[in-house]
Amino acid sequence: MAKDDEKKESGEWKEFFWNPRTHELLGRTASSWGLILLFYLVFYTFLAGMFCLTMYVMLLTLDDYKPTWQDRLATPGMMIRPKSDPLEIVYNLEKTESWDSYIQALDNFLAPYNDSQQAMKNDACIPDQYFIQEDSGEVRNNPKRSCQFNRTMLGSCSGLEDRTYGYQEGKPCVLIKLNRVIGLQPSKDEKSPYVSCSVEKGQKTAQTNETSAAVEYFPPNGTFNLYFFYIVNYSQPLVAVKFTDLSFNTDFNVECRIKSSSLFKISERDKFAGRVNFKLRINKV
Please give the Cα distance from 54 to 60 (Å, whole number). 10
Query: Which CB atom, from 155 or from 186, has the smaller least distance to another protein?
Result: 186
Q: Taking the complex as a whole, how short is the minimal distance between the CB of residue 171 and another protein, in angstroms?
A: 25
Q: Are strands 194-201 and 252-259 parallel, antiparallel or unpaired?
A: antiparallel
Query: Which CB atom, from 78 or from 214, has the smaller least distance to another protein?
Result: 78
Please give the Cα distance from 91 to 124 (Å, whole number). 38
Applying CB under 8 A, which part among 13-21, 53-61, 111-119, 250-258 lies near another protein?
53-61
Among 30, 35, 111, 126, binds another protein (CB under 8 A): 35
Our finding on whether 59 is near another protein (CB under 8 A) is: yes
Binding mask 179-198 for another protein (x = CB under 8 A): xxxx----------------
Query: Which CB atom, from 141 or from 207, has the smaller least distance to another protein?
Result: 141
Q: Taking the complex as a whole, how short is the minimal distance between the CB of residue 97 and another protein, in angstroms?
A: 22
User: Which whole-number Å values give the CA distances from 281 to 64, 108, 116, 246, in the listed order?
Assistant: 44, 23, 35, 8
In sequence order, the 6+-apart residues with CB closer than 8 A to the CB of 175 are 80, 81, 82, 106, 109, 110, 154, 157, 238, 239, 240, 241
Single-letter code of the amino acid located at 86:
P
Our finding on whether 33 is near another protein (CB under 8 A) is: no
Please give the Cα distance from 44 to 36 (Å, whole number). 12
Please give the Cα distance from 23 to 27 (Å, whole number). 9
Applying CB under 8 A, which part among 64-72, 148-156, 166-174, 196-204 lies near another protein?
64-72
Q: Are strands 275-283 and 252-259 parallel, antiparallel or unpaired?
A: antiparallel
Single-letter code of the amino acid located at 123:
D
Residues 106-135 that bind another protein (CB under 8 A): none
Our finding on whether 68 is near another protein (CB under 8 A) is: yes
Our finding on whether 144 is near another protein (CB under 8 A) is: no
Among 33, 109, 130, 272, binds another protein (CB under 8 A): 272
Where is 53: in which H helix or E strand? helix 30-60
Q: Taking the complex as a whole, how short is the minimal distance between the CB of residue 80 and another protein, in angstroms?
A: 10
DSSP annotation string for 105-117: HHHHHHGGG-HHH
Q: Taking the complex as a whole, how short is the minimal distance between the CB of residue 182 and another protein, in angstroms?
A: 6
User: Which whole-number Å values give the CA distances from 206 to 96, 196, 201, in the listed order?
Assistant: 34, 20, 9
Q: Taking the complex as a whole, how short is the minimal distance between the CB of residue 23 and another protein, in angstroms?
A: 16
Our finding on whether 56 is near another protein (CB under 8 A) is: no
Residues in the site for another protein, rule: CB under 8 A? 35-36, 39-40, 43-44, 47, 50-51, 54-55, 58-59, 62, 65-70, 72-73, 76-79, 83-87, 177, 179-182, 232-233, 267, 269-273, 276
